[in-house]
Amino acid sequence: MKRPSLGRPNIIQNNSQEHPVTDVVLFHHAQGLTDGVRQFADQLRAAGHQVTTPDLYEGQVFATLPEGLAYAEQAGFGTILERGRLAGEELPAEVVYAGFSLGVMPAQLLAQTRPGARGALFFHSCLPASEFGAWPDGVPVQVHAMDADPFFTDEGDIDAARDLVKTASDGELFLYPGSAHLFADASLAAYDPAAAALLTERVLAFLGRADVAGAR
């Protein structure tokens, strides 16, 4: 299947003197640190934010989701999670933790267990908060997914997301029409430009909030 050209993204230009700057750690999905994940990070950087993209696969990128999941299973999901935890420990405490699908595992672990989290952004996946204890007070969270994505709707993620946004003092669940899983990765066939643009708009608004960015 032919993948869409990445082209030049529509991004908000850096104007950090007017908008708060937020530190973000963004964990990739099961296909690895793809060009689309890198492009998404670049969109956040272009808006003035500082984004770190740890490579949990040690340089490997996979053409299909089943291939990527097979690698994760072979390496061990515990190993992938630990790589993410260690990557997060090298960063300042006051960051926003974000993850695409598989990357939600370390993002959620760190958001719930590492003191100082400014917020959390979960794309295409969500785990029950009980996996890592209680959701921390005062940490805002957004969950984004498609409303007919079987990975999200049939495997318990949507229920976990609904419970999480009820539990968190500041939680939002955004559902987009469609069945694609990794719809925000512009390097994949599942990419949905309209849904991805709306997701990015909402994420940038979230990161621009003074309570998320913190004092500078």
Instruction: State pLDDT tens for residues 127-139.
Output: 999 999 999 999 9
pLDDT band with cut points at 50, 70 and 90 for residue 19 = low
pLDDT higher than threshold 50 for residue 9: no
Inter-CA distances, 102 with 58, 80, 99, 126, 216, Å: 15, 9, 7, 9, 31
Give the whole-number percent of the chain exceeding pLDDT 90.
84
The reply to whether 18 falls in a domain is no
Nearest to 174, CA basis, from 123, 212, 119: 123
What is the count of structural domains for the chain?
Answer: 1
Inter-CA distances, 81 with 1, 34, 74, 85, 173, Å: 31, 18, 13, 6, 24
pLDDT band with cut points at 50, 70 and 90 for residue 72 = very high
pLDDT of residue 187: 98
The reply to whether 107 falls in a domain is yes
The reply to whether 27 falls in a domain is no
The reply to whether 6 falls in a domain is no
pLDDT higher than threshold 50 for residue 191: yes
What is the token pair recorded at 124? 């295409």
Task: Give per-residue pLDDT as tens, 81-107.
Answer: 999 999 998 899 999 999 999 999 999
Give the residue numbers spanning the domain of 98: 44-211
The reply to whether 129 falls in a domain is yes
Give the whole-number percent of the chain exceeding pLDDT 70.
89
CATH (domain of 175): 3.40.50.1820
Mean pLDDT on 178-195: 98
pLDDT of residue 1: 31
CA distance 158 to 160: 5
pLDDT of residue 213: 66
- For residue 156, how many other CB atoms are within 10 A of its CB? 12
DSSP character at residue 119: E
Task: Give per-residue pLDDT as tens, 40-68.
Answer: 999 999 999 999 999 999 999 999 999 99
What is the token pair recorded at 1? 């299947």
> Considering the entire predicted model, what is its pTM?
0.89
3-state helix, strand, coil in the chain (%, to 5): 40, 15, 45
- Classified as helix, coil or strand, 96 is strand
pLDDT of residue 3: 30
The reply to whether 32 falls in a domain is no
CA distance 30 to 97: 17
Nearest to 179, CA basis, from 156, 146, 154: 146
The reply to whether 7 falls in a domain is no
pLDDT of residue 2: 31
The reply to whether 25 falls in a domain is no
CA distance 106 to 97: 8
CA distance 28 to 91: 17
